[in-house]
Amino acid sequence: MHITFEKVGYTYQSKSPFAFRALHDIDVEIAEGTYYAVIGHTGSGKSTFLQHLNGLIQPTAGKIQVGDFELNSLKKAKQLKPLRKKVGLVFQFPEQQLFEETVEKDICFGPINFGVKEDIARERARDLIKLVGLSEDILTKSPFELSGGQMRRVAIAGVLAMEPEVLVLDEPTAGLDPIGQRSLMEMFYELHKEKGLTTILVTHSMEDAARYADYIHVLQQGTTFLQGKPLEVFSREKELASIGLQLPMALQFQKNLLKKLGRDEEATCLTNEQLADYIVNLYREEKI
């Protein structure tokens, strides 16, 4: 689904003494099938931004188009259920939203609530539990018997059971160890490619933004600070540093290496794999 924001703003408790402007003048265009990362410090407006995508909140200024659905500040949208079926939202710690007696019932809850027949919903649950890396026998267990990592994968399967066209990820690896983080992010990336999803990732991780995103949007104090392809954004090191954001580790390492070697070239390695290949090539050229 194609997504656009036009001069979007959002003020909490507007028209009250406690009004707080969380977003202003946001212009965004996200093409269908794009992997789009939103980065910035806590309080920059990231979570407010993503809550607009399925109508959890609606703009107090400007308008948003998500496929055929329009949300604007002049008219309160109704019938948001179809939009929320199209846009799947994975919050931080999604396992905290589990509540059913069994894993299968939890995964089936959303589709059945949206009118999917029970047998079809159960078939989806069987397919998805394997897709998220769990065994089918887990379906009969209580979600509260599972490990934290397993519970998170069950919650994600519940979102995917709605068959969304847009997948919104709000710090989806929060609280996981590095191996769990990488495993989950790889799973999302495979889903993105296989299902042709539009994926929107809100993250504090420069490494994840650099590795997976086609396009990066940097928010600062509720508005756009930088946006562009990963190398375009991360080439603006001084500007990022001015708001307390660092480069991905691989890119920073390459920049330091180039400086030490006195080589006049741009650093382009966004991932550890790219950096390793670059260093191997340098050795082959007998330049280090």
Tens digits of per-residue pLDDT, 65-100?
999 899 988 777 777 888 988 999 888 777 877 888
In the sheet with 87-90, reading across from the earlier edge strand, the strands are: 87-90, 166-170, 198-203, 35-39, 215-220, 223-228
pTM of the model: 0.90
User: What percentage of residues in the chain have a pLDDT greater than 70?
Assistant: 99
Sign of the torsion formed by the C-alpha atoms of 92, 82, 35 and 252 = negative
Radius of gyration of the chain, Cα coordinates, nearest whole angstrom: 21
Structure confidence at residue 276 (pLDDT): 96
Inform me whether the pLDDT recorded for 287 exceeds 70: no
Confidence of residue 288 (pLDDT cuts 50, 70, 90): low
Confidence of residue 24 (pLDDT cuts 50, 70, 90): very high
Q: 75 exposed, middle or buried (CB, 10 Å; 0-12, 13-18, 19+)? A: exposed
* Mean pLDDT, residues 253-279 taken together: 93
pLDDT digits (tens, 9 = 90+) for 211-231: 999 999 999 999 999 999 999
